[in-house]
């Protein structure tokens, strides 16, 4: 997957790197984590442990819990409420989907 900068990022914005499930991704410093994930083709962030349905950003304001990810080893972090920082490690619980239709575990 080729990293894609968010199109409306200011040209003078510092670029940083985060790791998503072992893959290095470039982002603008302070970009919203869920936006960075979507811009890089991660459409679902895991599966609901009870129903098996894919989870992703739903409400975008931190209430629904559909965008839960593990950040730097801390589980159940809401991607829609976090800004990326250099060296951040993001992992999806169980399995997830990418824009090219691949399901990874």
Helix (H) or strand (E) segment spanning residue 28 = strand 23-28
Kindly give the confidence (pLDDT) of every residue in the chain, 105 residues in length, as a single tens digit, with 9 standing for 90 and above. 555 555 555 667 799 999 999 999 999 999 999 999 999 999 888 877 778 888 888 888 888 888 999 999 999 999 999 999 999 999 987 655 555 555 554
pLDDT of 94 reads 63
pLDDT of 5 reads 53
Angstrom distance (rounded) from CA 29 to CA 68: 21
pLDDT of 6 reads 52
pLDDT of 66 reads 87
Helix (H) or strand (E) segment spanning residue 37 = helix 33-39
pLDDT of 11 reads 66
Quick check: 27 and 36 in contact, CB under 8 A? yes
């Amino acid at each position: 997957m080729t990293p894609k900068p968010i199109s409306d990022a200011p040209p003078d914005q510092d670029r940083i790197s985060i790791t998503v499930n072992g893959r290095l991704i470039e982002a603008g410093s302070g970009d919203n984590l869920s936006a960075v994930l979507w811009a890089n083709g991660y459409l679902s962030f895991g599966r609901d442990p009870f129903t098996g349905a894919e989870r992703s950003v739903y409400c975008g304001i931190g209430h629904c819990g559909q965008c839960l990810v593990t950040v730097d080893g801390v589980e159940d972090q809401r991607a829609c409420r976090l800004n990326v920082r250099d060296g951040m490690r993001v992992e999806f619980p169980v399995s997830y989907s990418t824009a090219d239709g691949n399901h990874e575990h």
